[in-house]
């Protein structure tokens, strides 16, 4: 039995406008051929193997998204470890390994990114079984993808001598190559793509990390000692964790250890790092088009067309990426879709909301969708899950009207408490303590109309909150 470690803190900026800072690609349903988000599929493909509850490593901003994804998938986790700042894979895995050993255990860890596509899951599981045998013998295993083309976007692993059934010693790691060098690797036949998936015993990895990067181990050990745990999450303090360098596990350990092993994997793997990659794995029609949502095409070929909010029609085009969301539309040539990252950088530099999040925002109690906004007003559709509640709070700059669309609302406003049902409403004056909860068995949906001089989400003073958001 092993313990999965799911790394779920990436940003996925090349898949904008669907992937955003507050809702990145691992939490999206990008695989049209399978049910569930990429994060949920990562957990589901472990079924059939003997494994313990997974450790999930993410960040503070995504904590409630992770928890909701686990809830929707009806899966539990051993712990959700929250990084205060991003420091790449070596510190993230070090945190997981140290946490896994805290109770005197020393499990074998299977480290997986939450946003990879794997078509042949049976072959993946067989590769994991081979890797687990190697890991129990004290080796540090990475999975190498058998290349299908001279790819310049991935790093490569050069295979050495055969080590038992299905594994090879690692001769060297290679950076992302030029087109000419990539073709040489493909022709040689002993090079694999570097997948970023690993398997090793926790103590063995920590010993090698201590050998080559003791500073990372020390910072992570100090951060874990000062961490705070609540019913859902392990909060890692920024002061200690920020001392870690931004370092990948390849640079920190795998390129230096003499215990490294690569297990080949030929399972239709893709890291889904661009919209062109999404087109590659999508189910395509006779015209070569990958279609999702309300899409009409005429004389259109070899394109990816996605509608997530309204009708998209394409006429007389080819080799395009068109992705429509409620607040943004991307149009790009398939050959240039890596440049989407430049759009994201521009949006970030200008401080635009389209960089950070969608109009639909997840919360631990449910979600809200911004329907309309203008000067001094904002309209939201709010959904509160059964048994959940918003914090007891007040606002200094806005008043609110609540109109129940469906379900039952329990409202506290000042010293009054009331129950509202469909078509009933109430008014929350500026500066008055209030809360909202759903005592019923079905989701509560209501329309919230805000009015005031300032309508930002940071105009919230919380007094009681079951989800621990007083810290944020």
> At residue 33, does pLDDT exceed 80?
no
> At residue 472, does pLDDT exceed 60?
no
* CATH class assigned to 360-471: mainly beta
The pLDDT score that the predictor gives to residue 59 is 92
What 3-state DSSP class applies to 25?
helix
Lookup: tokens for 329: 């539309």
CATH number of 3-270: 3.90.550.10
The pLDDT score that the predictor gives to residue 116 is 93
Mean pLDDT on 341-362: 92
Q: What tens digit of pLDDT does each residue of 54-70 get?
A: 999 999 889 889 988 99
User: Would strands 377-384 and 444-452 be described as parallel, antiparallel, or unpaired?
Assistant: antiparallel
The pLDDT score that the predictor gives to residue 365 is 92
The span from the first CA to the last CA of the chain, in angstroms, equals: 37
**Residue (of 46, 203, 199) closest to 135 by Cα position:** 199
Q: Are 297 and 310 in contact (CB under 8 A)?
A: no
Q: What tens digit of pLDDT does each residue of 377-431 get?
A: 999 999 999 999 999 999 999 999 999 999 999 999 999 999 999 999 999 999 9
Q: Note the Cα 284 to chain centre separation in Å.
A: 26
Q: What tens digit of pLDDT does each residue of 303-322 get?
A: 999 999 999 999 999 999 99
Q: What tens digit of pLDDT does each residue of 200-254 get?
A: 999 999 999 999 999 999 999 999 999 998 877 999 999 999 999 999 999 999 9
**Residue (of 294, 302, 252) closest to 275 by Cα position:** 302
Provide the percentage of residues in the chain whose pLDDT is more than 90: 82
Rg of the chain, C-alpha, whole Å: 24
> At residue 470, does pLDDT exceed 60?
no
Lookup: tokens for 6: 């799911």
Lookup: tokens for 27: 């939490």
Mean pLDDT on 267-271: 91
Identify any residues that bridge with 460 across adjacent strands, giving them in sequence order: none
The Cα–Cα gap between 303 and 289 comes to 5
Average pLDDT of the chain, as a whole number: 93
> At residue 273, does pLDDT exceed 90?
no
The Cα–Cα gap between 437 and 41 comes to 32
The Cα–Cα gap between 321 and 337 comes to 8
**Residue (of 247, 231, 235, 199) closest to 90 by Cα position:** 247
The pLDDT score that the predictor gives to residue 153 is 84
The Cα–Cα gap between 45 and 40 comes to 9
Q: What tens digit of pLDDT does each residue of 99-118 get?
A: 999 888 999 999 999 999 99
Lookup: tokens for 363: 């919360």
The pLDDT score that the predictor gives to residue 471 is 42
Tell me if the pTM is above 0.75.
yes
Q: Are 175 and 213 in contact (CB under 8 A)?
A: no
The pLDDT score that the predictor gives to residue 363 is 86
Q: Are 158 and 252 in contact (CB under 8 A)?
A: no
The Cα–Cα gap between 224 and 463 comes to 28
Identify any residues that bridge with 227 across adjacent strands, giving them in sequence order: none
Domain ranges of the chain: 3-270, 285-343, 360-471
The pLDDT score that the predictor gives to residue 469 is 65
The pLDDT score that the predictor gives to residue 10 is 81
Q: What tens digit of pLDDT does each residue of 438-467 get?
A: 999 999 999 999 999 999 888 999 998 887
What 3-state DSSP class applies to 267?
coil
Report the side by side order of strands in the sheet with 398-406.
Answer: 360-363, 366-374, 377-384, 444-452, 398-406, 425-428
- Cβ-Cβ contacts under 8 Å for 14 (sequence gap 6 or more): 273, 274, 275, 337, 338, 340, 341, 344
């Amino acid at each position: 039995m092993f313990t999965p470690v799911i790394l779920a803190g990436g940003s996925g900026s090349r898949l904008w406008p669907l992937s955003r800072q507050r809702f990145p690609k691992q939490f999206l349903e990008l695989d049209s051929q399978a049910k569930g988000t990429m994060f949920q599929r990562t957990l589901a493909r472990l079924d059939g193997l003997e494994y313990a509850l997974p450790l999930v490593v993410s960040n503070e901003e995504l904590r409630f998204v992770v928890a909701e994804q686990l809830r929707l998938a009806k899966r539990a986790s051993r712990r959700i470890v929250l990084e205060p700042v991003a420091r790449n894979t070596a510190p993230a895995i070090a945190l997981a390994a140290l946490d896994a050993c805290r109770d005197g255990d020393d499990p074998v860890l299977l480290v997986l990114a939450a946003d990879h596509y794997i078509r042949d899951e049976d072959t993946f599981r067989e590769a994991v079984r081979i890797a687990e045998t190697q890991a129990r013998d004290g080796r540090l295993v990475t999975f190498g993808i058998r290349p299908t083309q001279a790819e310049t976007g991935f790093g490569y692993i050069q295979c050495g001598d055969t080590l038992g059934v299905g594994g090879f010693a690692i001769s060297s790691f290679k950076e992302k190559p030029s087109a000419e060098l990539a073709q040489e690797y493909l022709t040689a036949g002993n090079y694999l793509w570097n997948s970023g998936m690993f398997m090793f015993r926790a103590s063995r990895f920590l010993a090698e990390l201590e050998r080559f990067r003791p500073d990372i181990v020390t910072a992570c050990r100090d951060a874990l000692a000062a961490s705070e745990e609540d019913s859902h999450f392990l909060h890692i303090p920024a002061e200690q964790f920020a001392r870690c360098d931004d370092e990948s596990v390849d640079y920190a350990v795998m390129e230096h250890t003499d215990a490294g092993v690569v297990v080949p994997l030929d399972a239709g793997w893709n890291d889904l790092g661009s919209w062109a990659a999404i087109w590659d794995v999508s189910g395509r029609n006779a015209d070569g088009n990958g279609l999702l949502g309300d899409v009409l095409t005429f004389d259109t070929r070899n394109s990816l067309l996605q509608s997530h909010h309204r009708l998209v029609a394409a006429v007389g085009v080819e080799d395009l990426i068109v992705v429509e969301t409620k607040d943004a539309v991307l149009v790009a040539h398939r050959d240039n879709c890596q440049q989407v990252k430049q759009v994201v950088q521009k949006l970030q530099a200008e401080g635009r909301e389209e960089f950070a999040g969608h109009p639909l925002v997840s919360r631990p109690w449910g979600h809200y969708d911004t329907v309309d906004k203008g000067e001094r007003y904002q309209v939201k559709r709010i959904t509160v899950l059964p048994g959940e509640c918003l914090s007891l709070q007040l606002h200094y700059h806005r008043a609110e009207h609540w109109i129940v669309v469906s379900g039952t609302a329990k409202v506290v406003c000042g010293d009054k408490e009331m129950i509202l049902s469909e078509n009933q409403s109430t008014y929350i004056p500026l500066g008055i303590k209030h809360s909202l909860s759903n005592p019923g068995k079905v989701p509560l949906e209501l329309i919230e109309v805000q009015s005031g001089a300032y309508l930002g989400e940071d105009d919230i003073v919380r007094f009681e909150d079951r989800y621990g958001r007083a810290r944020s």
